[in-house]
Amino acid sequence: MRLYCNYAGENGIASLKVEHLDGDEWKNLELDTMTPGFLIFTYAVFTCQHMFLRANANERNLQLATSNGRIMIDAATDWKIEKLHVAFDVTLKSGTPTADDNEYITERMQQCPVSKNLGEIPDTQTELLFASSSLIRMNEADSAAEH
């Protein structure tokens, strides 16, 4: 599953797009009464960690511009989760994160209520990568100047 988010205000969501892999094709996630339970479960884990990312970044005075997130959950044939990998690439509107900020936010994301109730998972990973929007604009300008 993956998400694309734009933020407004104090890390509120301005727009959000969530997609899931269906075979070889990415499709928009549309929750309804026919959505498979494991897909809803995966989204619950993902959105909980996303909420904790937004809230704790705000607590650390880091204002988000955009994020791209990914979640991978592998389960055994009995549906017991064996792997949980979550990653967010975040573009900042303002603020300069320290290593301590990154560690704090990542730890807090892992403490969201849904994740906290998953039990022991043999393979877990949470990644958070920050970039400033000015750095990205500068890199885009450099790239355009080369062509």
How many Å separate Cα 15 from the centre of its chain?
14
Q: Where does the pLDDT of residue 29 fall: very low under 50, low under 70, confident under 90, or very high at 90 and above?
A: very high
pLDDT at position 142 is 44
> Mean pLDDT score of the chain, rounded to an integer?
90
Q: Are 28 and 75 in contact (CB under 8 A)?
A: no
pLDDT, mean of residues 66-93: 95
Distance (Å, rounded) from C-alpha 9 to C-alpha 94?
12
Give percent of the chain above pLDDT 90: 84
DSSP string, 50-111: HHHHHHHHHHTT-EEEEEEEEEEEEE-TT--EEEEEEEEEEEEEE----HHHHHHHHHHHHT
pLDDT in tens, 6-25: 999 999 999 999 999 999 99
Instruction: State yes or no: pLDDT of 143 exceeds 60.
Output: no
Contacts 24+ apart (CB under 8 A), 19-28: 26/2
For 65, other C-beta atoms within 10 Å of its C-beta total 19
pLDDT at position 133 is 59
Instruction: State yes or no: pLDDT of 27 exceeds 50.
Output: yes
pLDDT in tens, 46-77: 999 999 999 999 999 999 999 999 999 999 99
pLDDT at position 136 is 41
For 87, other C-beta atoms within 10 Å of its C-beta total 15
Beta strands 81-94; 12-22: pairing state: unpaired
Query: Residue 21 burial (CB < 10 Å; 0-12/13-18/19+)?
Result: exposed
pLDDT, mean of residues 84-90: 97
Distance (Å, rounded) from C-alpha 69 to C-alpha 126?
11
pTM for the full predicted model: 0.86
DSSP, res 35: S
